[in-house]
Amino acid sequence: MSKISFLKEEKHVLVDNFSRTISYLRLSLTDRCNLRCIYCMPEGDGEDGCQTKNGKNFHCHDLLSYEELLRIVRLSVSLGMNKLRLTGGEPLVRKGILEFIDRLSEIDGLDEVRLTTNGVLLHEYAQSLYDSGIRQLNISLDSLRPERFAKITGKDLFNQVWQGIQTARDLGFRIKINVVAMKGINDDEFCDFVELALNEPYSVRFIEFMPVGEKSSWQREQFIRAEDIRQMVAGFGEFTPYQKGKFDGPARMFRLQAPDGRQGNIGFISPISHHFCDQCNRLRLTSEGKLRSCLLNDQETDIKMLIRQGISDVDLTRVIKDTVLDKPKGHGLQERMESGGPMNCPGQMSRIGG
């Protein structure tokens, strides 16, 4: 029996071989970034930072064009993937992104477009993004201290990022602050981030440091389990878990009630210590046009090559379905960590899309 026969397609729903509904597509629009974070793209040494530690950035023709991206999104939405996130690199550095988002809004069945950004260009783009219909932003921010921010990101741009966050807040965006937790680097700021969630309308999410990239700065001694982070901030008040919906993301979210009456939203994302593979609902399209069913598994389908060889919509739809059916049950990183085996995944985060 062919594997395609195992796919359930009822009311435009894609379900993989492990009964996970795949409803979420993440597009990495570019591998370029205007920061050089130590866990993602350190050691940039080219003109204007146009080289990464693993080699030069892609040329424009190496990336999927906006027309090619729109085609893939239309077919994916027709299969039931009704939520889209734009990532990078830093998506706002790609020319023409606002026009691209406007065209995305014309696709029937696409319910929501979200954006992940480092915030460097957010003050400049926030109004246009809001006008285009985007309402939710994920903002990467690993330190609230300007000097430390510069050490982590390679650029002294904290004040510019903070201005962008405040601009987005004032416009009415729903904002999630993503904090990569690194022992010995920013673990003394976890309480400051909780205070931020209590004082501002931001959801703060602590993310376990992931070993992505052959030359990643990831080290076992810098790894902190999400549960340990939760214990470190437990004294702030009562943490009440939100009930997860079927299509919610990987974060375990809590409503924090402080004794003084303040409230905030705190989340923990634990891809290693308490992986959420059994609930994963997403596919990723890398900046070089490869469809990837798991962030931490390097099995990929070269969509760009197929498109440029002239594949039909019917056959391209089948390729997307097959990628869903090839989605692995899990990544196995925790088992490798416990056994002392190699941890790093060869793929580069800036190309895959975080």
- Map residue 199 onto helix, strand or coil: helix
Contact at 8 Å (CB) between 322 and 316? no
Per-residue pLDDT at 330: 66
Buried b or exposed e, range 83-102, using 16+ CB within 10 angstroms: bbbbbbbbbbbbeebeebbe
- For residue 269, list its beta bridge partners: 207
Per-residue pLDDT at 328: 80
Task: Please give the average per-residue pLDDT across 262-287, as a whole number.
Answer: 86
pLDDT exceeds cutoff 80 at 251: yes
Integer Cα distance of 307 and 289 in angstroms? 10
Per-residue pLDDT at 325: 87
pLDDT digits (tens, 9 = 90+) for 294-319: 877 778 999 999 999 999 999 999 99
The total of structural domains in the chain comes to: 1
- The residue that leads in pLDDT, 66 or 343, is 66
Could you give the angle at which helices 66-78 and 313-325 cross, rounded to 10 degrees?
Answer: 70
- The DSSP output letter for 21 is B
pLDDT digits (tens, 9 = 90+) for 1-35: 334 333 444 457 888 888 888 899 999 999 999 99
pLDDT digits (tens, 9 = 90+) for 221-237: 889 999 999 999 999 99
Show the tokens assigned to 332: 């196995």
Q: Which domain holds residue 32?
A: 3-352
**What confidence category does residue 53 fall into, taking pLDDT thresholds of 50, 70 and 90?**
very low
pLDDT digits (tens, 9 = 90+) for 135-148: 999 999 999 999 99
**What confidence category does residue 345 fall into, taking pLDDT thresholds of 50, 70 and 90?**
low
Residue 50, exposed/middle/buried by CB under 10 A (0-12, 13-18, 19+)?
Answer: exposed
Per-residue pLDDT at 238: 98
Dump the DSSP string for 247-301: T--S-EEEEEE-TTS-EEEEEEE-TTTT--GGG--EEEE-TTSEEES-TT---EE
Integer Cα distance of 193 and 267 in angstroms? 11
Contact at 8 Å (CB) between 268 and 252? yes
Per-residue pLDDT at 11: 52
pLDDT digits (tens, 9 = 90+) for 84-125: 999 999 999 999 999 999 999 999 999 999 999 999 999 999
Per-residue pLDDT at 46: 38
Contact at 8 Å (CB) between 120 and 160? yes
344: nearest Cα among 239, 251, 219, 232: 219
Per-residue pLDDT at 75: 97
Percent of the chain with pLDDT over 90: 64
pLDDT exceeds cutoff 50 at 50: no
31 phi/psi in degrees, rounded to 5: -95, -5
CATH code of residue 136: 3.20.20.70
Q: Which H or E run contains 53?
A: none
Q: Specify the pTM.
A: 0.86
**What confidence category does residue 332 fall into, taking pLDDT thresholds of 50, 70 and 90?**
low
